[in-house]
Every structure is written in C-alpha cells, then in structure tokens.
Amino acid sequence: MAQHNHIFYKWGGGIEPDLPRVDHAHDEFLVTEDGEKLIDAAAGAAVTNLGHSVPGIEEIFESQSAEVSYLSLSHFSHDAPEDLARTLATRAPGDLSKVFFTNSGSEANEAAFKLAREYFRARGKPEKSVVVSRWQSYHGATFGALSATGNTLRRRGFEPFLTDWEHISPAYPYRWSFDGTPEEQARAAARELETTIRQRGPDTVAAFVAEPVGGASIPAAAPHPVYYKEIRDICDEYDVLFIADEVMTGFGRTGPLFAMEHYGVTPDMMSLGKGLTSGYTPMSAVLVNDKVADEFAREDVSFAHGHTFAGNPLSAAVANFVVEQYTDGVLERGQQRGQQLASELAPLADHPMVGDFRAIGPMVGLEFVADKDTKEPFDPSQKVYKQVYDAALDRGVYTYPGKGSVDGVAGDHLMLSPPLTLSESSVSRIAEAVEGAIEDVYSRVH
Ligand code: PLP
C-alpha cells in the first residue's frame, strides 16, 4: 500500500499516486512489498539491460568506495574514469575516441550541443549554432535537450524554449506519406534535413541529432538502411555535425552494442546513458570523434562546461564493470530473447487494434489505432496506453506505455525493452500478458 511520502511526482496526475512499492529486485523481477513478483519487461525505462543484482556488483561498490568515491575530474585523474574512457573509445564505432562524462542522458545531449557550438566557434564560424532534430523524438528534459526533443506531449507547457531550433519528420515509416519504394521514402525523409539546412542557412546550422532507432516516442521504429547514409552525406556536405543519441539504444538494446552499427554509419558524437551503468548508478557520456576533439586540443580553445558529479570514480567503476558484462554472448542472448519475444507476439501484427508492430533486437514497439485502415489514433480521452499498461500490470508484467502525440500524428504506444539477460520462460510470460492485455482493452474500447 502507498504510504504518505514527500516525493513530488505528478507525471500521471495526482501528487501522491498509489504506486506499487518495490521491496527488492533481482534479475528481471521486481518484488513488491505485497510479495508480488512482477516481470520488468521495460528494464525500468530501458535502463537495467543486465537485470537487477548482477553477481559481482556489490564488490565493485565496496572496493571503489573504500578506494575513493569522489574526485573533481577538473583537478584530479583516477584509474576508474580513465579505464572507462579507454574502453568506450575502443568499443565505439569509427574514431569516436574522446569521452566527456555527464550524469544523465539529458546532460549528455546538452554537452553535445554545447560542444558543437564551441567546435564551430573554434573554427571561426560562431554563427553555426542551430540544432536540427526530428518530431516524435526524445532527447531529455532540460531546456536545451527539450528544445531538440520533438515529442509534443513532453514539450507542451514549457514554451517558450530557450532556442529557436528546427525539426524534421520523424524516421517513422509507418506514418510516412512519401511516395515510392521503402528506400525512396527513406531518402525523401532524410532529404528534409537538407531542405531545412538550406532554408535556415547552412552558415547557421551546427548539428543534427537523432535517436538511431526510435525510443520513448516511437519505440523500435527503425528507418531503411539508406536513411543514415543519406543523413551522413548531407551533414558532410553542409558542414553539420551528426550527433547520434544512443542514450536508450546503446548497450545492446537493439542487438549490437550500439544501434548505429545496424547502419554502418559513424556519427561525429554519440550520447550514452541508461545501459552504461545498467541503472546501478547515474552516469552518462558523450563520445567525440577526432575531427571535433582535435579543435579542442588547441591552446586557445576551451570547453567551460561540466557537472560536479561527472565521471566520479564510483559511477565509473560501476560502468567499467557493467560495460565488461556486454560480451558477445550477452548481446547474442539479448538478440535471441528479442527474436523469441517478437515471434511470440507476431500474431498481434494482425490485431485490429494494432496499427504497427515492430521489433529490433530486444526492443518491441506497438502503435494502437482505432482504425487499422485509416491509421486513426484512439481518442486521447480513452487513455488506451494506460488501459493496456494497467491490464499488463494486472497480469504481473511491467511495460513502458507511451501516450499518443498531442497533435494526433501518432497514436498511443507500448514499448517492451526487457533486460537482455531474461529467461525464455519470462519472455513467454510477457508475450502472454501483453496479448491478454490487448484483448482485454480491445473488448472495452470497441
Ligand atoms: N535521450 C534519449 C534517447 C532518451 O531515451 C532519454 C530518456 O529516456 C534521454 C535522452 C534523457 O535521459 P535522462 O532521463 O537520463 O536525462
């Protein structure tokens, strides 16, 4: 039962919502105070990629705390953050070889945007400051990150933004209205970036930021492979930096360690968070390529930006341990469980209430529609996203719900993003619960 508490939380309405109280967690399970064992089919918010209480983590906390927990990285260095930066540089694609530490996904993107501005200032082009992003994206809650964010629900109420930035169409084939083959449509979607850069003026645009595969707004939406090749070419042609926001997709969430590996395209910067520590401590980072980092090597160029807790040895030690766990075997297991989940849920693709069903690695996304032919979303007042979430929770499975966009361009969503390490029997339980939940809700809304 909920007890009176002082946490200010009003996302879903009600200052003190009656939330299930978790007593403890292990593997893919959350055990409530009432003794109910829920399956965490969302890994929190696609965070706990390794599951809870992974063996060996306690020793890392203990030994690093005994050594040193906190240092200001502006004045001291230490093995843990240095080792982590080396590991990330080694495992990242291409020449993403320098690492700037931050504490949350939002902060990682803020840092990437400021790095982009400072980079162009160093090159004598201070007027290149605009960031282009996509509608239906999520890049974080702080004002800079929110200015780039294209999820209209998350933006609503916080206008005016600090910056006047640009948005192009989401990489969401289900709702594209471009003509032609899937490849031609993907090219047309990417070409919107070029049109926007030209309209705004190439001398003013610093960066394009995108989630390689859709996350919180349009989970598991993956554009045709040609999309990012086209984006890369456009960025190069107009001297615009390409920032891949891998905060959610990084660390095996879509199969490979990083989602950009699906596309064989290397961004100039990459934001990381969530799975970097699998939720054991807060930590995030921006990976920067040589082209950008080299400008900062100059004596007269600085980057006067940073956060008190960034790169702290305790989080770095945890991240070192966690990143080591993402072996080929663990990534492969995530892929297999994802395939199993996708194939057990595949019949839902034909369900009258499911407009789009997609899966990539251990990440599944469903969009619910009132009319499968016209793709008309449900009326928001029906709160279909919440009805499905509640019905799945009643069946012992925690999922990640997504409200439809406030401008009606996309319907309510459901994301499944379980730990990569979950068991086959948990996959089947998730599939059963989600199918049952959708049937349940369908019988009520029709
Ligand atoms: N970027 C992406 C792609 C995300 O999914 C999120 C969070 O869901 C963020 C940024 C923001 O991260 P944080 O909530 O850690 O600030």
ipTM: 0.99
In a domain, 372, yes or no: yes
Confirm or reject: Cβ of 320 under 6 Å from ligand 1. Answer: no
Task: Output the pTM of the full model.
Answer: 0.97
Model confidence at 125, pLDDT cuts 50, 70, 90, reads very high
Confirm or reject: Cβ of 40 under 6 Å from ligand 1. Answer: no
Q: Are residues 189 and 73 in the same domain?
A: yes
Q: Are residues 287 and 177 in the same domain?
A: yes
Q: How many whole angstroms from 159 Cα to the centroid of ligand 1? A: 20
User: What would the two tokens of residue 371 be?
Assistant: 């009319």
Please say whether the beta carbons of 111 and 187 come within 8 A: no
Q: In whole angstroms, give the CA distance from residue 327 to residue 208.
A: 31
Cα distances from 283 to residues 109, 272, 279, in angstroms, run 13, 9, 9
In a domain, 8, yes or no: no
User: What is the model's pLDDT at position 410?
Assistant: 85
Q: Are residues 222 and 237 in the same domain?
A: yes
User: The domain spanning residue 191 has which CATH number?
Assistant: 3.40.640.10
Q: Are residues 333 and 304 in the same domain?
A: no
Interior angle at CA 190, CA 185 and CA 191, nearest 5: 95
Q: Are residues 87 and 131 in the same domain?
A: yes
User: What would the two tokens of residue 62 be?
Assistant: 């203990």
User: What is the model's pLDDT at position 11?
Assistant: 66
In a domain, 13, yes or no: no
Model confidence at 13, pLDDT cuts 50, 70, 90, reads low
Contacts of 197 (CB under 8 A, 6+ apart): 132, 205, 234, 238, 240
Confirm or reject: Cβ of 215 under 6 Å from ligand 1. Answer: yes
Model confidence at 405, pLDDT cuts 50, 70, 90, reads confident
Q: Which of 52-66, 150-164, 347-361 has the lowest mean pLDDT?
A: 150-164
Q: In whole angstroms, give the CA distance from residue 426 to residue 444.
A: 27
Mean pLDDT of 162-184: 93
User: The domain spanning residue 397 has which CATH number?
Assistant: 3.90.1150.10
Query: What percentage of the chain has pLDDT greater than the value 70?
Result: 96
What is the domain extent for residue 258? 55-323
Mean pLDDT of 118-139: 97
Mean pLDDT of the chain: 95
Write down the residue that tokens 């282009």 correspond to: 132
In a domain, 35, yes or no: no
Q: Are residues 84 and 197 in the same domain?
A: yes
Model confidence at 1, pLDDT cuts 50, 70, 90, reads very low
Confirm or reject: Cβ of 103 under 6 Å from ligand 1. Answer: no
Please say whether the beta carbons of 273 and 286 come within 8 A: no
* Contacts of 85-89 spanning 24+ positions with Cβ under 8 A: 87/320, 87/323, 87/324, 88/272, 88/285, 88/287, 88/323, 89/287
Q: Are residues 434 and 419 in the same domain?
A: yes
Q: Are residues 203 and 75 in the same domain?
A: yes
Q: How many whole angstroms from 271 Cα to the centroid of ligand 1? A: 9
Q: Are residues 160 and 224 in the same domain?
A: yes
* Atom nearest to 211 CA in ligand 1: 3
Confidence check: pLDDT of 365 > 80? yes
Confirm or reject: Cβ of 138 under 6 Å from ligand 1. Answer: yes
Q: How many whole angstroms from 309 Cα to the centroid of ligand 1? A: 18
Mutate which of 106, 143, 153 for ligand 1 pocket (most atoms within 8 A of beta carbon): 106
Confirm or reject: Cβ of 286 under 6 Å from ligand 1. Answer: no
User: What is the model's pLDDT at position 16?
Assistant: 60
User: What is the model's pLDDT at position 12?
Assistant: 62
Q: How many whole angstroms from 205 Cα to the centroid of ligand 1? A: 23
C-alpha torsion sign, points 125, 126, 128, 131: positive
Contacts of 123 (CB under 8 A, 6+ apart): 295
Boundary-marking domain end, from 263, 298, 323:
323
Closest Cα to atom 13, ligand 1: which residue? 105
Q: How many whole angstroms from 215 Cα to the centroid of ligand 1? A: 9
Confirm or reject: Cβ of 217 under 6 Å from ligand 1. Answer: no
Task: Work out how many domains the chain is built from and give that number.
Answer: 2
Question: Which tens digits make up the pLDDT trace of 193-238?
Answer: 999 999 999 999 999 999 999 999 999 999 999 999 999 999 999 9
Contacts of 270 (CB under 8 A, 6+ apart): 92, 96, 243, 244, 246, 250, 258, 260, 286, 287
In a domain, 17, yes or no: no
Confidence check: pLDDT of 325 > 50? yes
User: What is the model's pLDDT at position 222?
Assistant: 97
Model confidence at 15, pLDDT cuts 50, 70, 90, reads low
Q: Which of 282-296, 345-359, 361-375, 393-407 has the lowest mean pLDDT?
A: 393-407
Query: What percentage of the chain has pLDDT greater than the value 90?
Result: 90
Closest Cα to atom 1, ligand 1: which residue? 139
Confirm or reject: Cβ of 241 under 6 Å from ligand 1. Answer: no
In a domain, 34, yes or no: no
Q: Are residues 302 and 341 in the same domain?
A: no
Confirm or reject: Cβ of 247 under 6 Å from ligand 1. Answer: yes
Q: Are residues 201 and 333 in the same domain?
A: no
Q: In whole angstroms, give the CA distance from residue 372 to residue 376.
A: 7
Q: Are residues 112 and 163 in the same domain?
A: yes
Boundary-marking domain end, from 296, 323, 350:
323
Q: In whole angstroms, give the CA distance from residue 224 to residue 218.
A: 15
Q: How many whole angstroms from 247 Cα to the centroid of ligand 1? A: 6
Boundary-marking domain end, from 323, 340, 369:
323
In a domain, 408, yes or no: yes
Size of the chain, expressed as the number of residues it contains: 446
* Atom nearest to 142 CA in ligand 1: 16
Closest Cα to atom 10, ligand 1: which residue? 139
User: What would the two tokens of residue 294 be?
Assistant: 């080299």
Which of 419, 413, 417, 387 is CA-nearest to residue 401? 413
Which of 328, 339, 252 is CA-nearest to residue 51? 252
User: What is the model's pLDDT at position 145?
Assistant: 96
User: What is the model's pLDDT at position 9?
Assistant: 66
C-alpha torsion sign, points 29, 33, 36, 42: negative
* Atom nearest to 45 CA in ligand 1: 8
In a domain, 28, yes or no: no
User: What is the model's pLDDT at position 409?
Assistant: 76
Mutate which of 248, 272, 278, 309 for ligand 1 pocket (most atoms within 8 A of beta carbon): 248
Mean pLDDT of 305-322: 97
